[in-house]
């Protein structure tokens, strides 16, 4: 069994199990494995709204730059957003710092390949092996060979435009309550739904570093269920901390879980003749 990587990256209690030292080594090893000998390689880094994100981001960036690879820092961004931006910005890899729906004390580091998909097990194993040997075989460039950090100021706009462009549906006339879980969706989700034409009522969209997933989001939809009824809304959507999952609430305040959403989507696509392999 892997000592570091689980089913969704490396996770643990921040500053206890997932330390700054470990984040530095993961950045250094990941850069070495994923960039190889390619000069001018870049890795995208984003995070959710946890207070420990800044600490882990700084350590991860230091590790990547120490291996001679540049960093494209996008700040707070959803996990799907990091996957897209990795491709869009033509990076060799992407990294998201998040523990998804877990409580604030947890955090995680997850790598994506250049396609925006999760790394193969063998690549994660290679990174892990380097970390466990303290990155002894990773060289340290000097002078102009050290990596640089570039801030991507239009990251949110890039992803919002992409997400809106994936569908042709007009949401005009729909009143929508969106639970942003005080996480990475807090700015992005309302922007997307508004641009698609919906009347948006955002809730739990004021992250303060410690309130992510706290009594809100996809693991705690009770407040959303009440808010939909109180607002007379047509629909409610609840994201989790990194916005890679969603639950829905109908106009009557009834929860529609992920399995039900998948069945509804599959039925819709099948009726249009667009359901893959069917």
Residues involved in catalysis: 100
Dig out the tokens for 60 from the structure: 């991860």
**193 touches 171 (CB < 8 A):** yes
Q: Which one, of 4, 68, 73, 76, lies nearest residue 34 by Cα? A: 68
- List phi, psi (to 5°) of 72: -105, 105
Classify the phi-psi angles of 131: left when phi > 0, otherwise alpha if psi is within -120 to 50, otherwise beta: alpha
Whole-angstrom distance, CA of residue 46 vs CA of residue 44: 7
Residue 97's H or E segment, with its range, is strand 93-97
Whole-angstrom distance, CA of residue 128 vs CA of residue 30: 9
Alpha helices in the chain (DSSP H): 20-35, 53-66, 79-88, 121-132, 155-165, 185-195, 222-231, 258-271
- Number of Cβ atoms within 10 Å of the Cβ of 134: 11
3-state secondary structure of 75: strand
According to DSSP, the residues that pair with 237 across neighbouring strands are 178, 248
**36 touches 130 (CB < 8 A):** no
Q: Which one, of 19, 37, 54, 15, lies nearest residue 131 by Cα? A: 19
């Amino acid at each position: 069994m892997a000592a570091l990587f689980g089913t969704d990256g490396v996770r643990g209690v921040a500053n206890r199990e997932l330390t700054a030292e470990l984040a530095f080594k993961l950045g250094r090893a990941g850069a070495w494995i994923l960039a190889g000998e390619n000069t001018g390689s870049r890795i995208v880094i984003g995070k959710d709204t946890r207070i420990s994100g800044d600490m882990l981001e700084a350590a991860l960036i230091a590790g990547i730059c120490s291996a001679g690879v540049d960093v494209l820092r996008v700040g707070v961004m959803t996990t799907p957003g990091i996957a897209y931006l990795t491709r869009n910005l033509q990076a060799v890899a992407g990294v998201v710092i998040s523990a998804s729906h877990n409580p604030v004390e947890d955090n995680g580091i997850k790598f994506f390949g250049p396609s925006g998909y999760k790394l193969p097990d063998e690549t994660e194993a290679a990174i892990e092996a380097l970390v466990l040997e303290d990155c002894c075989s990773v060289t340290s460039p000097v002078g102009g060979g050290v990596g640089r950090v570039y801030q991507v100021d239009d990251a949110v706009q890039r992803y919002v435009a992409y997400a809106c462009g994936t569908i042709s549906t007009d949401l005009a006339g729909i009143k929508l309550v969106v639970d942003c879980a005080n996480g990475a969706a807090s700015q992005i989700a309302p922007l997307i739904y508004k641009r698609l034409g919906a009347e948006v009522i955002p809730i739990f969209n004021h992250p303060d570093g410690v309130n992510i997933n706290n009594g809100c989001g996809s693991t705690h939809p009770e407040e959303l269920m009440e808010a939909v009824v109180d607002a007379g809304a047509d629909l409610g959507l609840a994201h989790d901390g990194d916005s890679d999952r969603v639950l829905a609430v109908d106009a009557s305040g009834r929860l529609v879980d992920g399995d039900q959403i998948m069945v509804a989507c599959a039925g819709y696509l099948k009726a249009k003749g667009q359901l893959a392999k069917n």
